[in-house]
Amino acid sequence: MNDALTFHFDVDGENFVSAGQASVQVKKNLRELGFPPEVIRRVSIAMYEGEINMVIHAGGGEADVDVFEDRIVIVLTDRGPGIPDIDLAMQEGYSTATDRVRSLGFGAGMGLPNMKRYTDEMRIDSTVGKGTVITMSILVNNR
Amino acid sequence: MRVSELIDKYGMKALSLPDPDREIAGGYCGDLLSWVMGRAQQDNAWITIMSNMNVVAVASLSDVSCVILAEGVTLEQGIVDTARGKDVNVLSSEKSAFEIAALLAPDV
């Protein structure tokens, strides 16, 4: 199958209560398409973390999901402040989240590490002052 | 052990129980949502004192069998409704996270 099934979502930047809606919808779609539970779980976790990051740090953004038979590709695009030091941001426990965000249970510095852990490939393209594009792939038969 | 058995056996209160027959396999304690997302396993019972809307999303996406709110924490009605709509089991216990984990450990 070469033609991907694609889903597009606008992620609202100010709404913590509804954060995760795109991820929940993708989970539902993948379940209906019959993907294995562990694949759905990995996609859900990686995408939710990315979605929350866009809400916390970038004032929202866009999420595009391409579903192929053998892999799922998630592209998260924002026009936020960018990530000055990607190696630092990838360290578990490093976070620039505010106290308010932390009081909601976020900001543990696990978002990007979780995204890497649960995906087979992850690329971060970020320009300070312009924004960030994160591309993640999950292979269906890999685990 | 099934989620519904927690109610009679340990005196927990069901706040949202759309899937009472779901089996519990192991458990996880934590309040930092990303930590839970990264470490909790599918079918775990997740014990926490967090009670905001994001708990429902994390429980749904990480596919835990139920959320157990410790220390008598409860949910606002709107969050209960969302949990039911997303098939997320949520129970509440007066006991601490430590006590709940100790109780469940032999059974799950």
| CATH for A125 | 3.30.565.10
Could you say which of B35, B60, B62 has the minimum Cβ distance to residue A108?
B35
For an interface test with A, the pick among B32, B33, B62, B86 (most A C-beta atoms closer than 10 Å) comes out as B33
A125 to chain B nearest CA, in Å?
A: 22
| SS3 assignment, position B92 | strand
What is the domain extent for residue B11? 5-104
Looking at A9-23, A116-130, B9-23, which range is the least confident one? A9-23
Residue of chain A minimizing CA distance to B62: A41
Is residue A25 within 8 A of residue A7, CB to CB? The reply is yes
**Partners of residue A137 on adjacent β-strands:** A73, A121
Chain length of chain B: 108
A93 touches chain B (CB under 8 A): no
Domain containing residue B86: CATH number? 3.40.1390.20
Task: Pull the structure tokens for residue A92.
Answer: 């578990």
What is the domain extent for residue A68? 5-139
The complex's ipTM works out to 0.81
Q: How many domains does chain A have?
A: 1
| Residue pLDDT, tens place only, B50-60 | 999 999 999 99
A38 to chain B nearest CA, in Å?
A: 8
User: Residue ranges of chain B with pLDDT lower than 50?
Assistant: none
Q: How many domains does chain B have?
A: 1
A90 touches chain B (CB under 8 A): no
A94 touches chain B (CB under 8 A): no
As to burial, measured by CB atoms within 10 angstroms (0-12 exposed, 13-18 middle, 19+ buried), residue A3 is exposed
Could you say which of A17, A24, A117 has the minimum Cβ distance to residue B61?
A24
Q: What is the pLDDT of residue A4?
A: 86
Is residue B54 within 8 A of residue B29, CB to CB? The reply is no
- Identify each DSSP E strand in B1-108 by its residue range: 13-16, 27-29, 45-48, 66-69, 90-92
A:B CB pairs within 8 Å: 74
Q: What is the pLDDT of residue A17?
A: 78
